[in-house]
Structures are given as C-alpha cells and as structure tokens.
Amino acid sequence: MDGLHMIFKIVKGIILLNSAQIFEKIFGEELIMDIIGSLEYDPDVPQVQHYRNFLKEHVVFKEAVPIKNPMVISKIHQAYRVGYLKDVVLARVLDEATVASLNSMIHSNNAIDDSTFIQELFARLRSPTTSAESKKNLVSLDLGIWSRRGFRVATVIAFGL
C-alpha cells in the first residue's frame, strides 16, 4: 500500500503544479481514468476510495439533444470528470489557484458554441411532440448551460426562449 500512497502523492503534486499544458495531457481521454484511479489511494483516508467505479457504473450521460461531433462529446466527458476530480476527489487539498485553473478548463469545454446544437435545443423545446419528460431534461440542460456560461439575456431571446 505504501507504493500506492506514494503514487497518490506524486499525482497530487503534479496537479498542484497548476500547469495548463500538464492538465491537457493528464486529463485527456487516454489518461484521466488512470489519474483518477491513482487518487483512490489517499494516505490520509483510511479506506480506498472507488472513484473510477462511480464514474464507470453510476454516471449516465444523457443527450437531451443529440450531439453529432465526437470531439464535443469527449470535451463534455472531460469537463464532468475534471469537475468530479475538483469537487470530490481532491476537494480538500486543492489551492485556490488550481481550483480556478480547473474551473477555467471546465468552462472552456462547454458545448454551447455549437449554434446547430442550440437551434436544435430550442426547436425541441418549442415542439408540441416533445414529451414532458424530454422537455424537463431540456430545461435542465438549458438552465445548466446558461448558469455555467453566464449567458446574456439577449442571446437567449435571440434563440426564442
């Protein structure tokens, strides 16, 4: 277990370097689950955590509006995982500067810049054939997008809400 605790400390130290270039590499699709896995062995926590299991088994990605671009989907997954790492995995050890950098990374990954996506979102909200459950999911998505991005009212009105 000492080796796993050492790996935890090394990975935590790498994250606390607060480097955007390092973040892009370690939080990429190929490494992020391994990074999160190494952080399951915090020597200050008596039991091994199961962060990867939670992300693999309990997190369900819902597409209220189909996203056709695989890069956008990848960025959405990355933003969620980085947010989970920031808010759950390392919440008690991150400094303010690193939290700000991670928030910036999450913020830049939002898919709202895709105008086709936004148009489809509002078209589905206005459609009489969209089920109540789907509209509920769409409204939740809308609220999340607008609150995370600090959207201006004029932009929302331009799309017909």
Q: What's the pLDDT score for residue 158?
A: 54
Q: What's the pLDDT score for residue 48?
A: 92
Residue 153 — very low, low, confident or very high, per pLDDT cuts 50/70/90?
very low
- 45 pLDDT more than 70: yes
Question: CA separation (Å) from 158 to 101, 109, 123, 147?
Answer: 31, 23, 13, 17
Q: What's the pLDDT score for residue 40?
A: 95
Q: What's the pLDDT score for residue 56?
A: 87
* pLDDT averaged over every residue in the chain: 80
Q: What's the pLDDT score for residue 30?
A: 93
Q: Could you tell me if 49 and 85 are in contact, meaning their C-beta atoms sit under 8 angstroms apart?
A: no
Q: What's the pLDDT score for residue 147?
A: 52
- Read off the pLDDT of each residue in 17-22 and give the average, rounded to a whole number: 94
In angstroms, the CA 64 to CA 62 distance is: 6
Does pTM surpass 0.75? Answer: no
Q: What's the pLDDT score for residue 113?
A: 57
* Structure tokens given for 30: 């190929």
Q: What's the pLDDT score for residue 108?
A: 76
Tens of pLDDT, residue by residue over 84-142, are 899 999 999 999 999 999 988 887 776 455 566 667 777 777 778 877 877 777 666 65
